[in-house]
Amino acid sequence: MTEPSPALCMAGVRKVYPAGDGEVVALDHVDLTVAADEIVALVGPSGSGKTTLCSIAGALLTPTEGSVEVGGTDITDLSGSELTRFRRESVGFVFQTVNLVPFLTARENLLVVDELGGRSSRRANAGARADQLLEELGIADKATSLPSQLSGGQKQRVAIGRALMNDPALVLFDEPTSALDSKLGEQVVELIRDEMKARGTAAIIVTHDDRITSYADRTLHISDGRLDADHTAHDAATSG
Ligand SMILES: Nc1ncnc2c1ncn2[C@@H]1O[C@H](COP(=O)(O)OP(=O)(O)OP(=O)(O)O)[C@@H](O)[C@H]1O
Ligand SMILES: [Mg+2]
């Protein structure tokens, strides 16, 4: 067996958005490697580039400069349709606002991933996989409930299950607990950690939640679009 590829490798990533008659540099010189089973917490002030970083790692946005590899696949030069397919098959997203399809049940919200991905080989197993995930996430009894019939924490569990359906190399969480009260937040934090570690799946979790940073393997700080060097892989090179 060879070493698994890193879940994510970003090199020299820069992202510039046009804004009015000027531009905003949202990310600058970002170098980041996330190991295949690593959980990384990403913290930083509002506007520092956290969502932009996740969007680029998850192939929702392309960088202005630099290269991005996810699970060993170089996605830097993929076309729009290739990116769409890559995104469906290889990454999972969990957002603060959960984005469940309101007219589908919890179980159907998991199955819709498989239908969009169109992987015929997986299709036969999709129902069983959805049932297994709902069971693991403690919401098997809610399989036929609509999102409007679920609590905030239960909806977030469905979103986590949906992100895991395709067995992604990397799951991106953007403030997954910020809409939850502290008890539910705690449960969701533990769930994320247990699910990621049980599968050996890598995750980047954008958060202001100290419980998440304490669970993470590593915490990265970002400000003004730059990762803090003291907390990156260059740790050893800088002392003080
Ligand atoms: N589509 C866009 N067009 C122009 N500027 C943008 C766009 N998206 C983000 N920005 C700018 O890029 C910078 C980084 O934004 P980003 O959303 O990545 O920040 P963030 O760290 O996720 O902030 P928050 O904690 O508030 O969610 C900000 O200055 C923001 O205003
Ligand atoms: Mg954000």
Task: Determine, yes or no, domain membership for 178.
Answer: yes
Tell the residue nearest (CA) to atom 3 of ligand 1. Answer: 17
Task: Determine, yes or no, domain membership for 143.
Answer: no
Number of domains in the chain: 1
Which residues sit with their C-beta closer than 6 Å to ligand 1? 17, 19, 24, 26, 44, 46-52
Encode pLDDT of 16-47 as tens digits.
999 888 999 999 999 999 999 999 999 999 99
Task: Determine, yes or no, domain membership for 114.
Answer: no
Rounded to whole angstroms, how far apart are CA atoms 228 and 226? 6
Two structure tokens written together for 6:
């890193």
- Residue 182 belongs to domain with CATH number: 3.40.50.300
Ligand 1 centroid distance, CA of 109 (Å): 28
Q: Provide, rounded to the nearest whole percent, the portion of the chain with pLDDT above 70.
A: 89
Task: Determine, yes or no, domain membership for 61.
Answer: yes
Range of the domain at 175: 8-98+163-237
pLDDT beyond 60 at 117: no
Task: Determine, yes or no, domain membership for 130.
Answer: no
Task: Determine, yes or no, domain membership for 149.
Answer: no
Ligand nearest to the backbone CA of 44: 1
Ligand 1 centroid distance, CA of 47 (Å): 5
pTM above 0.85, yes or no: yes
Residue pointed to by tokens 């010189």: 29
Task: Determine, yes or no, domain membership for 157.
Answer: no
How much is the mean pLDDT over the chain?
Answer: 86
What's the pLDDT at 34?
Answer: 97
pLDDT beyond 80 at 2: no
pLDDT beyond 80 at 166: yes
Encode pLDDT of 186-203 as tens digits.
888 888 888 899 889 999
Dihedral, CA of residue 52, residue 67, residue 223 and residue 230, to nearest 10: 140
What's the pLDDT at 95?
Answer: 81
What's the pLDDT at 85?
Answer: 87
Task: Determine, yes or no, domain membership for 134.
Answer: no
DSSP letters for 6-17: PSEEEEEEEEEE
155 phi and psi, to 5 degrees?
-60, -40
pLDDT beyond 60 at 122: no
Q: Quick one: pLDDT band at residue 1, thresholds 50, 70, 90? A: low
Tell the residue nearest (CA) to atom 4 of ligand 1. Answer: 17
What's the pLDDT at 108?
Answer: 93
Rounded to whole angstroms, how far apart are CA atoms 111 and 230? 42
